[in-house]
Amino acid sequence: MPEYTKSEARTWAREKLVGVANVTIPTMKSDFKSLNEKAIRHDVETAIGHGFIGSLACSEVAISLDEYGQFCRTMVDQAQGRMLTIHHAAFNTIEDNIEAVKVAEDAGSEFVLLCYPPYFYPKDLEEVYDYTKAFCDATNLAVMLFPVPTWGFSRLHPADIPVPMLRRLVDDCPNIVAIKAEGGYPNFMSQVEVHREFHEEVVISSPLEFDLVPLGQLMPLPFSGTNYSAYFGDWLPKVHAMLQAGKYDEATEEWYRIDPARKAVLSVGFGGQGLLNRMLWKYHGWLQGYNGGPLRGPTARVYKKDMVTLRRGLELAGLNPTSDPDEDFFIGRNPE
């Protein structure tokens, strides 16, 4: 059970969602038959060492629900209250997602990122409302809404989930505590209007570092997550702290400094057709000391040309990637 009630969830979020949250991707043992707990614990410790205040327990991989519960329990146990474990509500149906969030809650997860399944194809925004409310009603956990083009809702509205629908959901679901504002990406109009409408009620997350640093100088953005920022090591938590302290000149200088890394990761991309390449994200993190290692198939792949680009981007930005050879990524730092 969470440490808060539904009526207390927004107060809890105001206190806890200050900082940056990255993503933890489960590592399998070398036979791909079970989880490598030592590797997962390594990634949690590395994230804490880098200054992250939370991490998404990524479910968008080939993993069973029982294994996912074990994954969450391992993250919670290793963190020991030093970092939030965020449930990734990205299973196949509303029924599956309700079952999974109960598993995550029992495992000690504190917070939820709500996603929508590939075969959820709503005919109108009312169906989006119904799905979202059914999920929120079924859990005691605090929930972060996630308007983003990935779900295919752009055919219903350019903001993916427009402000009037978000207003109904925020009013009707007391455990909605945050909005991950990527509606209409790559445009940031949604971030601006969501902040204008809701920032006094719920936490607004600006998850993309290239938007966060400039926008965070114009509006309060206490939370950034969940995101691929493991690629930058401890850089984004440090720069986020600069923004919170009003050190805008320093944050701007840092934004320009890491431009080669930003360009490298954006040139390689994150995947396609609505599915992120989580193996590539594991490589992002491996360059900064995370475990890397086996991810059960089917999975997208990572190619040498992309490894070269990503490593070189970090070198040019002064972000000190590992000197370990790329072939070690496929084994991982804690092989079992």
Does any domain span residue 330?
no
**Other beta carbons within 10 Å of 118:** 14
Count of structural domains within the chain? 1
Here the tokens at position 322 are 């590992």
Q: What are phi and psi of 21, to 5 degrees?
A: -120, 130
Does any domain span residue 281?
no
Does any domain span residue 98?
yes
pLDDT at res. 169: 98
Instruction: Residue 109: give the domain boundaries.
Output: 6-246
- Burial pattern 156-190, b for ≥16 Cβ within 10 A else e, equals bbebbbbbebbeebbeebbbbbbbbbbbbbeebeb
pLDDT at res. 10: 98
Does any domain span residue 74?
yes
Does any domain span residue 333?
no
pLDDT at res. 1: 79
Full-model pTM: 0.97
Does any domain span residue 85?
yes
The residue among 330, 236, 234, 324 whose CA lies nearest residue 279 is: 330
Q: What are phi and psi of 332, to 5 degrees?
A: 95, 165
Q: Is 244 helix (H, G, I), strand (E, B) or coil?
A: helix
Assign residue 146 the CATH number of its domain.
3.20.20.70
Q: Along the 336 residues of the chain, how does pLDDT read in single tens digits?
A: 799 999 999 999 999 999 999 999 999 999 999 999 999 999 999 999 999 999 999 999 999 999 999 999 999 999 999 999 999 999 999 999 999 999 999 999 999 999 999 999 999 999 999 999 999 999 999 999 999 999 999 999 999 999 999 999 999 999 999 999 999 999 999 899 999 999 999 999 999 999 999 999 999 999 999 999 999 999 999 999 999 999 999 999 999 999 999 999 999 999 888 899 999 999 999 999 999 999 999 999 999 999 999 999 999 999 999 999 999 999 999 999
Here the tokens at position 105 are 């809650």
Looking only at Cα atoms, what is the longest distance across the chain? 52
Does any domain span residue 233?
yes
Does any domain span residue 334?
no
